[in-house]
Structure 1
Amino acid sequence: MRRADSFPMPQRFSRLAAACGLSALMLAGAAHAGLLFDDKENAKPELAAPVPPPFNPDKTIAVDARVGRSLDVGIDPDTLTSDSDGVVRYVMVARTSSGAITATYEGVRCSTAEVKQYARHYRDGDWQPVAEPRWQSLFSGGSVNYSLMAAKAGVCQDASSGGSKQRILQNLQNDVMRNMP
């Protein structure tokens, strides 16, 4: 591999410009998402996650009503907690058009833009704990990342949680993106 100073000046400049441009795009994306975050060293120590709470799939607040797919996803407001460790925990419920229901018990740490899944619930079953729950970037999800949508819809405000439980629920219910095509 060649050293950077062995490239002609225009090529070195174009590589530096490309790297700066990519960094600016990533920062702009995080800023647009309302999720500018600290480094992980500043995160508060995580409290032990409580036992997954019971949930009601008929009471959920939609995370993204724009999806237009055969899947409805929302947060049961009775399960949401905003804890002193800066982690917002909730049950995310997904219902298919045929009525099948699954749920996840997860936490979002807004200060680091991470999500951790603690347990999964499948139709007509009990909670199944995740074997080794780990913090993952909110930005590393698949094609539809409902945890990121929840964070952007009101679970997070900038690099902190959306506030008290009542404030977060109000943010989720008033999500400005809810009625957009």
Structure 2
Amino acid sequence: MNNRHSNPFARAWLRLAAPVALLLAAHTAFAQANFEEDFDDENKTWEEIAIQLPAPPKEEDLIEFYVGPTTTQTFAIDAKSLAIGRDGVIRYTLIATSPAGAKNISYEGIRCATFEKKLYAFGRSDGSWGRSRRDQWEGIVRGNVNRQHAALAQDYFCSNLTIVGTEKDMLQRLRSKRTLTDSLLRE
């Protein structure tokens, strides 16, 4: 009679191989679960963080930036307010000044990943903030008129829907009047 388990070595090997096979299967399943979990992070719904409105801007902290040849206003951001949130939104205080000297102050955000902007609040003359009634994300217009958001996004903050650098890098580009394109050409 030919019994394939009558060999003592075969029986010992089977006793050792079975637990090893179980451990390998468990390890493979665990690794696959972690692998899929890493990809699940990319599919998570984006969630905006709660914001805290900054202190009112001070004249000495303002950095003017160029918007284009057709604008009649000058634009600046408050260097102390510029921040990149954990949610990937670049937030800042924007100051628009008319030729007559009237100032409009707003706290805004730019999301490079979607090339959108959001208005959070308006600055009041007493230094307080009034929340915007339209605090929804809107696409950034690249036209010639009202292109201050496009100038910030394209020239100083974003490239290919990605945030470029840190707050310090962005402030350096703004202070030196070197756009992202200028920076690439000089490298």
TM-score normalized by the length of structure 2 = 0.63
The residue type paired with residue 172 of structure 2 is: Q
Contact residue 121 and residue 130 of structure 2 kept, 8 A: yes
> 2:85 corresponds to which residue?
83
2:151 to 144, 149, 152: 149
| TM-superposed deviation, 1:92 | 0.7
Deviations 1:74-124 (A, max 9, x none): 111111001111000000101122221111100001001110100012445
CA distance in 2, matches of 1:75, 1:170: 13
Code of the aligned partner of 1:139: V
- For CA contacts below 8 A with separation 6 or more, give which structure has more relative contact order: 1
Change (3 A) 1:44 1:169: farther
Matched AA of 1:79: S
In structure 2, what is the equivalent of residue 36 of structure 1? none
Take 1:121 and 1:128, find their aligned partners in 2: how far apart are those partners? Answer: 6
CA distance in 1, matches of 2:117, 2:154: 13
Pairwise CA RMSD of aligned residues?
2.7
Change over 3 Å in CA distance of 1:158–1:61 after alignment to 2: farther
Distance 1:177 1:140 in 2: 16
2:172 corresponding residue in structure 1: 170
Query: Which stretch shifts more, 113-122 or 41-50?
Result: 41-50
Shift of residue 148 of structure 1? 1.2
Counterpart-to-counterpart distance in 1, 2:73 and 2:82: 21
Rg (Cα) greater in structure: 2
Residues 72, 94 of structure 1: 8 Å contact kept: yes
Give identity over the alignment, percent.
Answer: 27
Assess, with a 3 A threshold, how the Cα gap between structure 1 residues 98 and 123 changes in structure 2: closer, same or farther: farther
What corresponds to 1:118 in structure 2?
120
Residue 93 of structure 2: SS of its match in structure 1? strand
Match for residue 159 of structure 1? 161
- Kindly provide the amino acid, as one letter, of the partner of residue 54 in structure 1: P
What secondary structure, in the 3-state scheme, does the structure 1 residue paired with 2:141 have? helix
- TM-score, normalising length from structure 1? 0.65
Q: Where does residue 74 of structure 1 map in the other structure?
A: 76
Q: Partners in 2 of 1:85 and 1:147 — Cα distance?
A: 19
The answer to whether the 8 A contact 1:63-1:153 is kept is no
1:135 aligns with 2:137: yes
Gaps of 5+ in 2: 1-42, 183-187
